[in-house]
Structure 1
Amino acid sequence: MRVLVLGGDGYLGWPTALHLSDSGHETAVLDNFARRGYDRELGVQSLVPIQDLDLRIAAWEEVSGRRIPSYVGDLLDADFVYTVLREFEPDAIVHFAEQRAAPYSMIDREHAVYTQHNNVVGTLNLMYAMAEINPDIHLVKLGTMGEYGTPNIDIEEGWLEVEHNGRKDRMLYPKKPGSFYHLSKVHDSHNLEFGCRVWGLRVTDLNQGVVYGQQTDQTVRDARLATRFDYDAVFGTVLNRFVIQAVLGEPLTVYGTGHQIRGFLDIRDTVECIRLAVENPADAGEFRVFNQMTESYSVAELAQHVADCFPGPVQVEQLDNPRVEQAEHYYNVKHTGLVGLGLQPHLLSDTLIDSMFDIVAANKDRVDHAALLPTVKWRGHLKS
């Protein structure tokens, strides 16, 4: 199968491309290197050094014998998108090419507008290119569990059966996102479902939980294949921050009560979920949704898990929550679709013990301590 990975230079896009290539698929990557630009803007860097895309591709061909073509350009350039699809002729497209950080989207008006414009318009250009060139292409679109928010009912996989005034219907699950980034993903989902309904597109929307880990079976084969390890308060994930703070002997900084619950999954499960979705495509006209997560933890539970696994003393410290979110809430997510396709999940405790503490210890001299603390507040940019 010919698979084009959009955002193929990023944290998940790069290891996904390697995993698909290693599974025998003819894989290409596309990127505009915006993610590297965000690092320059914010004055931060990946904890683990990462090579440029050309060197990564050459290293993969050296160790695997498989070539990954690359396309450099922007989804906002519609002509470029059409050219790439005509040239590469993909059977499937994996779409990671969006600004993916909630705090970045909440910095100020400019960052909110950029996030929505970049994400929504880029995906619209891609939809039109698929519909006009080859509507049989299967799009695997990376969404987020954050689209749902924290409703007081069970979270189904994308769709909800509703009875109202004696009548029944099946509709997209109601969304209650918590940032302008998450809102952009909701707009994507609505646009893509419309494209399936009116143009007969094939789409799998993967509502992904918080991903942790930095190594896959492919990236460990050569240091030049390493993917990012983000830890700063804008692009880093909470688990990465906790692991670094534990290794450095600093308190684990829990926002608010720590009772906020989220879904999590290992990076190895992420790339495998995408392979399973690619190899088992949605039907023509189907907008298929999988909730891509394997375990749920509250932030406080996550901090305690890190403390229990770390071979040394760990303190936990509560900070005022910079976000606007429910401190106490119900959270029960259905996530059976990918398991039904064959996913065999890794557990968080195994990943912490197997790799994450060691990765941080080996690179702790690269940590910017100030970057660990939150600087973006959900209400902080508003003018009174």
Structure 2
Amino acid sequence: MKKIVVIGGDGFCGWPTSLHLAAKGHDVTIFDNFSRRAIDAELGVSSLTPIASMEDRLSAWKETGHRPITFQSIDIAKDYPALRDSLKTLKPDTIVHFGEQRAAPYSMKDATRKRYTVDNNVSGTHNILTAVSELRLDAHIVHLGTAGVYGYDGDGLEIPEGYLAIKVSNGEEEFAREILYPTNPGSVYHMTKSLDQIMFQFYAKNDALRITDLHQGIVWGTQTPETRLHDDLINRFDYDGDYGTVLNRFLLQAVVGHPLTVHGTGGQTRAFINIADTVRCVALAVDNPPNRGDRVQIRNQMAETQSVRNLAQMVADMTGGQVAMVDNPRNEAAENTLAMSNHSFVKLGLNPIKLSDGLFNETIEIVRRFADRCDLSVIPCSSTWTPEHKPGVVETRSVTETA
């Protein structure tokens, strides 16, 4: 049993991870400031699934008979003394860090959201590192990063897990080096995750902190074995243009009869992972920390890569839906290939859930159950990467014509 602090444990990935770690017998404390709930109120949107209060969530979890979870309301980016003092009291073995604003579209919405994303994400991460260093805690920091730090310039190279072996020449002889894979962020959000990497590298080297950075793909699905145990444990289901991940958004659109909105050509290829594998990967990372003095341990947390166009094809084939080809609000390549290594998690025993495994049905059941809560007006993405860009529907046609 380990004593674990989950920062951001009220969120889409943090909540089911907290439950999974507690179900495995760990002593879990959640730190959160409910910023994700506040952003829902700010944007005038809500999760498709009804989210219980933290008090009701923890009460429902206690009813399951598993080890109870405790909660502390802390803003890690703004209240360093509270963060430091709580960590000093708890002396956790592991700190799982989900406490960052996670949506690329939201981070590109306007100057205010750009500044918030940087202030919140960078300051929060640095405060954790500073607190662990100041208190001389031997806590393993597990950070949920993003595969987006690598960029999407697929040219046939399989992206390695964090580090790239290179040779540097001085004109007379060659020197072998291994460097962080060069970052190529596509949004302010991805930029903050890239900055996290540099801070991790410094504190691992200078203060011998033990750090694992998980470069995660896009998450699909919403439920895990633990969130199914009680209605008040249900996880978030975001479908709006800022926070809705692409596959979940497609599945909702198909159920409610809304065209599947594919940005641009749909040729953007991305890494994907099911939410149930997210929690398994974090648990595996917790159980396999680096040694003190090791470099940052980077693991690619993904199951497979797919193009957005292929995802739309899968969903439309299953549901009979139509596809709306819409202008792409993002400043990104219209088409790309992508290959990523996930060897380290496979070696640790992960048998990842694939899109072909047929788990769409469970997500569709969730959508059908709560379809009356859907607000169709919030589905289009209103955040644009360039101020002059005004996204709109180009055409609607059956998905078979887009493949």
User: Shorter-chain-normalised TM-score: which range?
Assistant: over 0.9
Structure 1 match to 2:179:
171
User: How far 1:351 sits from its partner (Å)?
Assistant: 5.1
Tell me what 1:101 maps to: 103
Query: Residue in 2 aligned with 1:308?
Result: 317
| Contact 2:167–2:175 (Cα < 8 Å) also in 1 | yes
Q: Distance in 1 between matches of 2:338 and 2:323?
A: 24
Aligned twin of 2:112: 110
Secondary structure of the equivalent of 1:181? helix
Corresponding residue for residue 374 of structure 1: 381
Q: Residue 211 in 1 paired to residue 211 in 2?
A: no
Q: 1:48 and 1:327 mapped to 2: Cα distance?
A: 32
Secondary structure of residue in 2 paired with 1:206 = strand
How many angstroms apart in 1 are the aligned matches of 2:327 and 2:66? Answer: 51
User: Partner residue of 2:301?
Assistant: 292
Shift of 1:328: 1.8
**Cross-structure match for 2:251:** 243
- Cα shift readout 1:58-102 (whole Å, capped 9, x = no counterpart): 110111242111110111211011111112111001000000000
The equivalent residue for 2:266 is 258
Structure 1 Cα separation of the partners of residues 81 and 216 of structure 2 = 30
Residue aligning to 2:160: 156
- Counterpart of 1:45, as a letter, is S
The percent of aligned pairs where both chains have the same amino acid is: 46
Are residues 1:192 and 2:203 paired? no
Aligned 8 A contact 2:26 2:67 in 1:
no
Select which of 69, 81, 84 maps to 2:83.
81
* Contact in 2 for aligned 1:120/1:187 (Cα 8 Å): yes
Per-residue CA distance 1:302-351 (angstroms, 9 max, x = gap): 101111233xx211121010000011223111111111111121122435
RMSD value, Cα: 1.2
1:208/1:368 CA distance change after superposition, 3 Å: same
**Partners of 1:226 and 1:54 in 2: how far apart?**
14
Contact 1:135 / 1:199 at 8 angstroms: preserved in 2? no
Structure 2: unaligned runs, 5 residues or longer: 390-403
Offset, 1:133: 1.4
Partner of 1:49: 50
Contact 1:243 1:357 in 2 (8 A): yes
Q: Does structure 2 conserve the Cα–Cα contact (< 8 Å) formed by 1:263 and 1:296?
A: yes
Q: Secondary structure at the match of 2:340?
A: coil
Contact 1:309 / 1:353 at 8 angstroms: preserved in 2?
no
Q: Contact between 1:213 and 1:351, CA under 8 Å: does it hold in 2?
A: no
Cα distance in 2 for residues equivalent to 1:283 and 1:104 = 36
Offset at residue 140 of structure 1 (A): 0.3
CA distance in 2 between partners of 1:285 and 1:210 (Å): 31
1:144–1:381: structure 2 CA closer, same or farther, 3 Å change rule? farther
Q: Distance in 2 between matches of 1:6 and 1:176?
A: 26
SS of the residue 2:164 aligns to? strand
Q: Secondary structure at the match of 1:64?
A: coil
2:75 maps to a residue whose letter is D
Structure 2 residue 239 is matched with structure 1 residue 231? yes
The answer on 1:66 being equivalent to 2:67 is: yes
What's 2:399 paired with?
Answer: none
Look up the match of 1:120.
122
Question: Contact 2:91 / 2:137 at 8 angstroms: preserved in 1?
Answer: no
Instruction: Tell me what 1:25 maps to.
Output: 26
Per-residue CA distance 1:255-293 (angstroms, 9 max, x = gap) = 001010000011100000000000111111230000100
User: Where do 4+ consecutive residues of structure 1 move more than 4 Å?
Assistant: none
Q: Give TM-score scaled by structure 2 length.
A: 0.92
TM-score (norm 1): 0.97
2:392 is aligned to none
Kept after mapping to 1: 8 A contact 2:140/2:209: yes
Residue 331 of structure 1 is matched in structure 2 by: 338
Q: Count how many residue pairs are aligned between Structure 1 and Structure 2.
A: 380
